Amino acid sequence: MQTETTQQRHRVVVVGSGFGGLFGTKALRRADVDVTMVAKTTHHLFQPLLYQVATGILSQGEIAPPTREVLSSQDNVQVLLGEVTGIDLERQVVTSTVLGRDTTLPYDSLIVAAGAGQSYFGNDHFAEYAPGMKSIDDALELRGRIFGAFEMAELGAKRGDNVDHLLTFVVVGAGPTGVEMAGQIAELAHRTLKRDFRAINTRTARVVLLDAAPQVLPPFGAKLGAWTSRELEKLGVEVQLGAMVTDVDERGLEIKYKDGHTERINTVTKIWAAGVQASPLGKTLAEQSGAPLDRAGRIGVNPDLTLPGHPEVFVVGDMIALDNLPGVAQVAIQGAKYAAKEIEGRLKGKPAQAPFKYHDKGSMAIISRFRAVAMVGKLRLTGVIAWLMWLAVHLVYITGFKNRVTAVLHWFISFLGRGRSERTTTEQQIFARSALARLKHGATDLVSAPGAYDAARELVEESRRHELEMQALEEARLTDSGARGVKQSG
Ligand SMILES: Cc1cc2nc3c(=O)[nH]c(=O)nc-3n(C[C@H](O)[C@H](O)[C@H](O)COP(=O)(O)OP(=O)(O)OC[C@H]3O[C@@H](n4cnc5c(N)ncnc54)[C@H](O)[C@@H]3O)c2cc1C
């Protein structure tokens, strides 16, 4: 176990390299502190564009630059890879692990921005057949599954098989991510791929968007929801509302409708875009501080984003339950900046800030090229104007100039032309994760259990020592007995 040495300056540990983690760390650039950012990935992920990676528009590098590079010019930061497995509020220590090797990080102030993962509402076994959309792994796996389904359909159709289940795509969850995915798959089928295959007509693909709720995009209100539904239908997406998924397997899913009837859709490609569950670190913090947790695992924090009873610990972004704040990037960014300002202010002896107040800069969701919805204050926008706004805002927030330039180029190719520059997929992207999941400790099992390598090396060394000792004894015996050089008889 590696332990960091005690430092002179105020130590801030930031958990997570997402919107909260990155913006919080950046906001501390001029503070007289040493920051350690620890995150379980080496990149800062721009989640709003994951669906474009999954559907071949952007590469993963464009939306996930290395955090180390992004922060390279900020001298007071050290970036560490590791999954935080423990936070000891009493000892003020964070423990992280990577491939079975632990690191402990003492802190004076802590910002926890570990975000949220996918929720399958207690049916975690659905995940194997219906990947979510939370990480680069998810997006690349989905890319492989989506383009792979068209490939398998081509082969099947050439043999004369029924390929309807391969040309059926079901997206579960009609929030922004579900709407974006359904719209993009419809565009792929009806526009991008229409000339690429010989045995199948991709335009016959069935794209279904399901939700148990009675409307699409509930946070956008009834009017924008209805407009979105109509636009999706024009694109060829079948929108099924009041439809609850009750089971998922390799070849399809079972649905129970509001009127009680059930139906099965045969499909190999299912995408889960319903439900979020806050990072389990919320539970760790709640157990030690007594802070409440809501059903989605979000932790109740004080109005200044600190943990009850622990003014040195701030929790921000998707992990918190405060004043019904939505799980959006701006909540994480603004919260993290607020926490950083408070830490710096305390060190300078400034009075505490007023409670955290979220400034809603608006929400947007894209449906397909030239179609989007946007809400800015009281303004409700649809169509091309909303789509252009969406492009501009996302461009501003993509990290790094280089990534902005290449993203614009790829958008030109995909939205004005028909192409998708990032269709490449590999077998490993589709199957390796399931294979890893079957190992008890995931990748750690592949690189041996912690300490097992050293133990094995010690054993080898011991047996080698024994061999050398025996050899030396034999040499000495041969010399002392005068047997050396004497030809032994019989
Ligand atoms: C597909 C998708 C589309 C979205 N679209 C939009 C949109 O259009 N507009 C919008 O405003 N919001 C959107 N969101 C929501 C937005 O991305 C989140 O609200 C935002 O990312 C929250 O920021 P965060 O810092 O709390 O968490 P995240 O950005 O998720 O960051 C969490 C970080 O913590 C790390 N981490 C997690 N657990 C651990 C651990 N145990 N140890 C170490 N590190 C850990 C992760 O690796 C990551 O670096 C979207 C989300 C998704 C999934």
Tell me, in angstroms, the distance from the centre of ligand 1 to residue 116's CA. Answer: 6
225 and 186 fall within a common domain? yes
Tell me, in angstroms, the distance from the centre of ligand 1 to residue 328's CA. Answer: 8
Looking from the CA of residue 21, the nearest atom of ligand 1 is: 25
- Which one has a higher pLDDT value, 109 or 426? 109
| CA separation for the pair 269, 456 (Å, rounded) | 44
pLDDT bucket at 429, cuts 50 / 70 / 90: confident
195 and 298 fall within a common domain? no
pLDDT recorded at residue 400: 82
The answer to whether residue 180 is catalytic is yes
Looking from the CA of residue 46, the nearest atom of ligand 1 is: 17
176 and 296 fall within a common domain? no
Q: Which of 14, 19, 36 to mutate to test the pocket of ligand 1 (most atoms within 8 A of CB)?
A: 19
Examine the pLDDT at 459 and tell me if it is beyond 60. Answer: yes
Per residue in 276-319, pLDDT tens?
Answer: 999 999 999 999 999 999 999 999 999 999 999 999 999 999 99
| 382 assigned to some structural domain | yes
pLDDT recorded at residue 186: 97
| CA separation for the pair 14, 37 (Å, rounded) | 5
From the centroid of its chain, how far is CA 458? 39
Examine the pLDDT at 389 and tell me if it is beyond 70. Answer: yes
Domain count, the chain: 3
What tokens were used for 187?
């565009």
| 390 assigned to some structural domain | yes
Residue 365 burial (CB count, 10 A): 25
pLDDT recorded at residue 270: 97
pLDDT recorded at residue 490: 38
| 69 assigned to some structural domain | no
pLDDT recorded at residue 294: 96
| CA separation for the pair 24, 358 (Å, rounded) | 15
Examine the pLDDT at 340 and tell me if it is beyond 70. Answer: yes
Domain of 334: which CATH number?
3.50.50.60
86 and 170 fall within a common domain? no
Examine the pLDDT at 482 and tell me if it is beyond 80. Answer: no
101 and 161 fall within a common domain? no
| CA separation for the pair 432, 21 (Å, rounded) | 29
Examine the pLDDT at 54 and tell me if it is beyond 70. Answer: yes
302 and 449 fall within a common domain? no
Examine the pLDDT at 7 and tell me if it is beyond 60. Answer: no
| 480 assigned to some structural domain | no
160 and 305 fall within a common domain? no
pLDDT recorded at residue 465: 73
* Non-local CB neighbours of 104 within 8 Å, separated by 6+ positions: 1, 2, 3, 4, 93, 94, 95
pLDDT bucket at 422, cuts 50 / 70 / 90: very high
Tell me, in angstroms, the distance from the centre of ligand 1 to residue 256's CA. Answer: 31
| 139 assigned to some structural domain | yes
**Residues within a 6 A CB radius of ligand 1:** 15-21, 38-41, 47-48, 50, 83-84, 113-115, 133-134, 176-177, 279, 281, 317-318, 327-330, 332
pLDDT bucket at 1, cuts 50 / 70 / 90: very low
| 479 assigned to some structural domain | no
| 293 assigned to some structural domain | yes
Question: Looking at 347, 380, 401, which one is the last position of a domain?
Answer: 347
Q: Whose CA is nearest to atom 25 of ligand 1?
A: 20
| CA separation for the pair 166, 156 (Å, rounded) | 9
| CA separation for the pair 155, 132 (Å, rounded) | 27
pLDDT recorded at residue 174: 96
Examine the pLDDT at 477 and tell me if it is beyond 60. Answer: yes
Q: Whose CA is nearest to atom 46 of ligand 1?
A: 16
- Which one has a higher pLDDT value, 140 or 418? 140
144 and 270 fall within a common domain? yes
180, 342, 344, 422: which is the annotated catalytic residue? 180
Tell me, in angstroms, the distance from the centre of ligand 1 to residue 234's CA. Answer: 31
* Non-local CB neighbours of 230 within 8 Å, separated by 6+ positions: none
Tell me, in angstroms, the distance from the centre of ligand 1 to residue 141's CA. Answer: 18
Best CA proximity match to 253, nearest among 264, 243, 262: 264
- Which one has a higher pLDDT value, 467 or 453? 467
Give the residue-averaged pLDDT of 165-192. Answer: 96
Tell me, in angstroms, the distance from the centre of ligand 1 to residue 375's CA. Answer: 21
Examine the pLDDT at 258 and tell me if it is beyond 80. Answer: yes
SS3 sequence, the chain? CEECCCCCCEEEEEECCCHHHHHHHHHCCCCCEEEEEEECCCECCCHHHHHHHHCCCCCHHHHCCEHHHHCCCCCCEEEEECEEEEEECCCCEEEEEECCEEEEEECCEEEECCCEEECCCCCHHHHHCCCCCCCHHHHHHHHHHHHHHHHHHHHHHHHCCCCCCCCEEEEECCCHHHHHHHHHHHHHHHHHCCCCCCCCCHHHCEEEEEECCCCCCHHHHHHHHHHHHHHHHHCCEEEEECEEEEEEECCEEEEEECCCCEEEEECCEEEECCCEEECCHHHHHHHHHCCCECCCCCEECCCCCEECCEEEEEECHHHEECCCCCCCHHHHHHHHHHHHHHHHHHHCCCCCCCCCCCCCCCEEEEEECCEEEEEECCEEEEHHHHHHHHHHHHHHHCCCHHHHHHHHHHHHHHHHCCCCCCCCCCHHHHHHHHHHHCCCCCHHHHCCCCCHHHHHHHHHHHHHHHHHHHHHHHHHHHHHCCCCCCCCCC
Q: Which of 328, 337, 358, 375 to mutate to test the pocket of ligand 1 (most atoms within 8 A of CB)?
A: 328
Per residue in 351-363, pLDDT tens?
Answer: 999 999 999 999 9
Q: What is the domain range of residue 454?
A: 439-474
pLDDT recorded at residue 449: 63
Give the residue-averaged pLDDT of 373-395. Answer: 92
Examine the pLDDT at 488 and tell me if it is beyond 50. Answer: no
Q: Whose CA is nearest to atom 4 of ligand 1?
A: 48
pLDDT recorded at residue 481: 80
pLDDT bucket at 463, cuts 50 / 70 / 90: confident
294 and 411 fall within a common domain? no
What tokens were used for 364?
């947007």
| 54 assigned to some structural domain | no
402 and 444 fall within a common domain? no
Q: Whose CA is nearest to atom 41 of ligand 1?
A: 84
Asked whether the beta carbons of 173 and 248 are under 8 A apart, the reply is: no
Examine the pLDDT at 170 and tell me if it is beyond 90. Answer: yes
Examine the pLDDT at 9 and tell me if it is beyond 90. Answer: yes
Tell me, in angstroms, the distance from the centre of ligand 1 to residue 302's CA. Answer: 21
265 and 380 fall within a common domain? yes
Examine the pLDDT at 405 and tell me if it is beyond 90. Answer: no
Average pLDDT score over the chain: 91
Examine the pLDDT at 440 and tell me if it is beyond 80. Answer: no
The whole model's pTM is what?
Answer: 0.89
136 and 267 fall within a common domain? yes
Q: Whose CA is nearest to atom 39 of ligand 1?
A: 114
| CA separation for the pair 176, 48 (Å, rounded) | 9
Examine the pLDDT at 171 and tell me if it is beyond 90. Answer: yes
Examine the pLDDT at 325 and tell me if it is beyond 90. Answer: yes
Q: Whose CA is nearest to atom 35 of ligand 1?
A: 16
Examine the pLDDT at 235 and tell me if it is beyond 80. Answer: yes
Exposed / middle / buried, residue 85 (Cβ in 10 Å: 0-12, 13-18, 19+): middle
Asked whether the beta carbons of 128 and 120 are under 8 A apart, the reply is: no
